[in-house]
Amino acid sequence: MIEYDKFTETKVEYVEQIFEFQIPKGQKSERIDLFLTRMIQNATRTKVQKAIDDQRVSVNGKVAKSSHKIKPLEKILCKILKPPPMELVPQNIPLEIVFEDEYLLVINKPAGMVVHPGFGNRYGTVVNAVLYHLGKREPISIELDDDDEQENSGEMPSEGEGLIYASDIIRPGIVHRIDKDTSGLLVIAKDPVTHANLSAQFSKHTIEREYWAIAWGKFKSSIGTIEGDIGRSSQNRKMFAVVKKDGKFAKTDYFILKEFEFASLVKYKLHTGRTHQIRVHSSFTHHPILGDELYGGNKIIYGSEIPRLRSKANECLKIATRQMLHAKTLGFIHPKTQEKMLFDSNLADDFQKVLKILEDNLIS
């Protein structure tokens, strides 16, 4: 059965699994969604609820609602859609390796490279490249639940992904992620023990992370903190937003490194690791990241009133075809040696070109 994946908007050929139950005599009354979650192996309540919402659950031939209470002798038919296996293909893609030992490696990811495969990005990812770098040559097929794919665009892997990428089968353990169009540092574990240790450091927020960005406008204060719960946007499911309810706490410190005529070079420090956190918080404070199409940074926000500045801003936007955001610094405790590891990375070429334009008094 072919459907559109709701997160990547790509066609996915799901496999339909059919489960049939006849409620025995003496069965206690129970909501059908709870019953199916309990009876179907590896089924989550979310997955069962989706099947009910999609009218793939029936009782005695009639479409059922999740509030239905099962009764003795009822016949229940449930169709669960399962995504196809994920095939991880080692690919000979160059990596900029900042550090490597037998336990982990740190890379400087280029903008435009996805961290790990998903339904819409099966090839050309960091994982494909790392598999090849570690000596893998044959494709590896992994059975995934659709729940494992749902947070494909976020910074932190879901629990399911963590188990997959830290397993003995798949050695490159993706501990954290940065967005496709964000450049910068990533640490990758080579074994499950290292993966678990680094993941714990991320969960406890003891990892040191600094991002540099070019943001629109001049800030009122040279140092500040942005706090605002982040959740999925009600306007666009690809976006996240500062929300009043159903969000997760997020905290970002910022430090102005340099001011320009209509933009600022900003250092951001994360206290939490929410999806798109810096981009969302920057947009929320009316200083979106320059070039960020999703959060309004791909148009002139400041400087349009003066022709010279408008021309200069347009020159920046010609180069900034993605958000000018770079994961510059990464620090953690080495899981084996217990040493404090601290890494710094060079800014991407397009980032440096935009900085040069901003620093120049005249456009060359």
Domain for residue 342, yes or no? no
Domain for residue 289, yes or no? yes
Domain for residue 45, yes or no? yes
Q: Which of 82, 117, 144 finishes a domain? A: 82
**176 DSSP β-pair partners:** none
318 and 218 in one domain?
A: yes
Q: Which of 60, 82, 104 finishes a domain? A: 82
Whether 322 and 112 have beta carbons less than 8 Å apart is answered as: yes
| φ, ψ of residue 255 in degrees (nearest 5) | -140, 125
pLDDT of residue 237: 76
92 and 28 in one domain?
A: no
As for how many domains the chain has, the answer is 3
Position 219 pLDDT exceeds 90: yes
The string of pLDDT tens digits covering residues 145-158 is 544 444 333 344 44
Question: Three-state SS string across the chain, please?
Answer: CEEECCCCCCEEECEEEEEEEECCCCCCCCEHHHHHHHHCCCCCHHHHHHHHHCCCEEECCEECCCCCECCCCCEEEEEEEECCCEEECCCCCCCCEEEECCCEEEEEECCCCCCCCECCECCCCHHHHHHHHCCCCCCEEECCCHHHHCCCCCCCCCHHHHHHHCCCCCCCEECCCCCCCCEEEEEEECCHHHHHHHHHHHHCCCCEEEEEEEEECCCCCCEEEEECCEEECCCCCCCEEECCCCCECCEEEEEEEEECCCEEEEEEEECCCCCCHHHHHHHHCCCCECCCCCCCCCCCCCCCCCHHHHHHHHHHHHHCCCCCEEEEEEEEECCCCCCEEEEECCCCHHHHHHHHHHHCCCCC
192 and 225 in one domain?
A: no
317 and 241 in one domain?
A: yes
pLDDT of residue 171: 45
| φ, ψ of residue 299 in degrees (nearest 5) | -140, 165
**Known catalytic residue: 181?**
no
Token pair 């706090």 in the structure block, residue: 227
126 and 75 in one domain?
A: no
Whether 356 and 363 have beta carbons less than 8 Å apart is answered as: no
Q: What is the greatest pairwise CA distance in the chain?
A: 85
Q: Give me the CATH number covering residue 281.
A: 3.30.2350.10
Domain for residue 278, yes or no? yes
The string of pLDDT tens digits covering residues 106-122 is 999 999 999 877 656 67
Q: Give me the CATH number covering residue 66.
A: 3.10.290.10
Domain for residue 110, yes or no? yes
- 332 or 192: whose pLDDT is higher? 332
92 and 75 in one domain?
A: no
Position 81 pLDDT exceeds 70: yes
227 and 150 in one domain?
A: no
127 and 39 in one domain?
A: no
235 and 157 in one domain?
A: no
The string of pLDDT tens digits covering residues 163-182 is 444 444 444 578 888 999 99
Distance CA 230, CA 278 (A): 11
75 and 97 in one domain?
A: no
Among the ranges given (86-95, 204-213, 222-231), the one the predictor scored with the smallest mean pLDDT: 86-95
Domain for residue 193, yes or no? yes
- For the chain, what is the mean pLDDT? 87
Q: For residue 110, give its domain range.
A: 86-204
**325 DSSP β-pair partners:** 213
Choose the catalytic residue: 179, 246, 349, 350. 179
Q: Which of 65, 82, 99 finishes a domain? A: 82
Token pair 């992904």 in the structure block, residue: 161
pTM listed for this prediction: 0.76
Domain for residue 190, yes or no? yes
pLDDT of residue 143: 63
228 and 174 in one domain?
A: no
Domain for residue 321, yes or no? yes
187 and 109 in one domain?
A: yes
Distance CA 182, CA 222 (A): 24
Q: Which two tokens stand for residue 157?
A: 């892997």
